[in-house]
Amino acid sequence: MTDETNILAQLEQIQQDALMRLETIQDESDLQAWRTAHLGRSSAIMQVFSGLPEVPKELRPQVGQRANQVKQALETALAERNAVIHQSSLERSLRNERMDVTLPGREPIQGRLHPATQTLRDLYAIFAEMGFQVYRTRDVETDEYNFELLNIPAYHPARDMWDTFYTSTPGVILRTHTSPGQIRVMREYCPDPIRVVLPGMCYRYEQISARSEIQFNQLELMVVGRNITFGDLKGTLNDFARRMFGENARTRLRPSYFPFTEPSAEMDVECFICGGKGCTICKGSGWLEIMGCGMVHPTVLQNGGYDPHEYSGFAAGLGPERIALLRHRIEDIRYFWQNDVRFLEQF
């Protein structure tokens, strides 16, 4: 008998023995043991592959081809047997295990609006009732719109008020406030009167604390027309505070400074957490700042296309997250961005 006949007979015997043993297997653990014994690294068929270099050169193609056929036949048989055993196990489980179909189903968890989104929508509704329209602008701005056209040239020390995120493209930044939208809306609607709110996300490289984040929502408020006065600004903001916090909400305006408004002020609302007595959220003052405001600077009006001798206007920038702090007695602004389901489910 030749060497080729011996090797081919050996392969035939390997296949028959493996298939015969496979027919007797009834569970998955034995099937795994069969896989290791007949297809593993130390199996007979794999030993044939390992010994191919020792087979005479003229016989290697026939032996290698037949060995591959045996290996594929064993793998196919293994897959078929695995399907049979799995189906058998499933049928046995259905016969022997009881299933109580009377149990009530589990109610799926439904998503809800984020508290910041809820507050923003409330703000939109309030200002819509007061005659304002929503005007959206871009998050990525140019230095010109974010600073220069708002009366903040490159040498101006007020730039230190905004810790800016710069991009790799010169002159392109993440906006530090929604005020660049003032220039865009004025240039679009000039010379018509303007009454808009400009919502959006702002970005500042600041120290994260209970009262400040590196990203936050802001809502810009802007009115431009003839004979607009500081009294119009105060009346609008007081009306907003009563609509937002209730008729008994106490507010105050403090003199402040912003390069794009003159005169400028900051508006505070009495801290609802401590009732004005002083706490960690209001830093012991009893008041919590919710916005900066003021009359639009003549230079900004002019950059927007309006003649400051004929037109005037006011602007304000609100912090929706800080308003949400007041409304819901939340003690840490960082909760808004931590995505803690225990916090978000309360809203």
Structure confidence by residue, pLDDT tens digits, 272-313: 667 777 777 677 778 878 889 999 999 999 999 999 999 999
E strands, 140-280, where? 140-142, 165-166, 172-174, 194-203, 215-225, 251-258, 261-270
Could you give the angle at the alpha carbon of 55 between the alpha carbons of 53 and 58, nearest 5°?
110
* One domain for residues 32 and 148: no
* One domain for residues 81 and 174: no
Predicted pLDDT of residue 273: 66
**Residue 279's domain spans which residues?**
115-344
* One domain for residues 336 and 188: yes
* One domain for residues 16 and 150: no
Q: What is the pLDDT of residues 112-135, one digit of tens each?
A: 888 888 999 999 999 999 999 999
CATH of the domain at 328: 3.30.930.10
**How far is 222 from 150, CA to CA, in rounded Å?**
14
* One domain for residues 60 and 186: no
CA 16 to chain centroid, in Å, comes to 60
Distances in Å between the Cα of 177 and the Cα atoms of 79, 157, 316 are: 63, 17, 11
User: Last residue of some domain: 31, 62, 96?
Assistant: 96
* One domain for residues 239 and 317: yes
* One domain for residues 132 and 180: yes
Q: Are 318 and 218 in contact (CB under 8 A)?
A: yes
Predicted pLDDT of residue 210: 65
Mean pLDDT (whole number) for 242-264:
90
* One domain for residues 307 and 211: yes
Q: Which residue has the higher pLDDT, 67 or 129?
A: 129
* One domain for residues 90 and 142: no
pLDDT range class, residue 26, cuts 50, 70, 90: confident
Q: Tell me whether residue 176 is in a domain.
A: yes
Q: What is the pLDDT of residues 335-345, one digit of tens each?
A: 888 888 888 88
Q: Taking the CA atoms of the chain, what radius of gyration do you get in angstroms?
A: 37
- Strands 133-134 and 194-203, by their bridges, are parallel
Provide the mean pLDDT of the chain.
Answer: 86
CA 73 to chain centroid, in Å, comes to 51
Residues linked to residue 142 through DSSP beta bridges, in sequence order: 172
Buried b (16+ CB within 10 A) or exposed e, 130-157: eebeebebeeebbbebbbbbbbbeeeee
Q: How many residues are there in the chain?
A: 347
pLDDT range class, residue 2, cuts 50, 70, 90: low
Neighbours of 60 (CB within 10 A): 13
Q: What share of the chain is helix, strand, coil (3-state, %, to 5)?
A: 45, 20, 35
Q: Tell me whether residue 128 is in a domain.
A: yes
User: Last residue of some domain: 44, 65, 96?
Assistant: 96
* One domain for residues 75 and 122: no
Neighbours of 198 (CB within 10 A): 24
Predicted pLDDT of residue 314: 97
Q: Tell me whether residue 9 is in a domain.
A: yes
- Picking from 342, 322, 215, the residue whose alpha carbon sits closest to that of residue 271 is 322
E strands, 204-259, where? 215-225, 251-258
- The position carrying tokens 């802007």 is 222
* One domain for residues 79 and 121: no
Residue 63 pLDDT greater than 80, yes or no: no
Domain count for the chain: 2
Q: Are 25 and 85 in contact (CB under 8 A)?
A: yes
pLDDT range class, residue 1, cuts 50, 70, 90: very low
Residue 211 pLDDT greater than 70, yes or no: no
Q: Tell me whether residue 134 is in a domain.
A: yes
Give the percent of the chain with pLDDT over 90: 38
User: Last residue of some domain: 96, 126, 150?
Assistant: 96
Half-sphere exposure of 254 (CA within 13 A, CB side): 11
Q: Tell me whether residue 107 is in a domain.
A: no
**How far is 160 from 143, CA to CA, in rounded Å?**
14
Q: Tell me whether residue 271 is in a domain.
A: yes
**How far is 222 from 294, CA to CA, in rounded Å?**
10
pLDDT range class, residue 103, cuts 50, 70, 90: confident
The 8-class DSSP code of residue 273 comes to: T
Predicted pLDDT of residue 308: 95
E strands, 176-250, where? 194-203, 215-225
* C-alpha dihedral sign at 211, 164, 268, 123: negative
Q: Are 8 and 63 in contact (CB under 8 A)?
A: yes
* One domain for residues 152 and 253: yes
Q: Tell me whether residue 105 is in a domain.
A: no
Residue 192 pLDDT greater than 90, yes or no: yes
Q: Tell me whether residue 309 is in a domain.
A: yes
**How far is 164 from 174, CA to CA, in rounded Å?**
7
Q: Are 199 and 219 in contact (CB under 8 A)?
A: yes
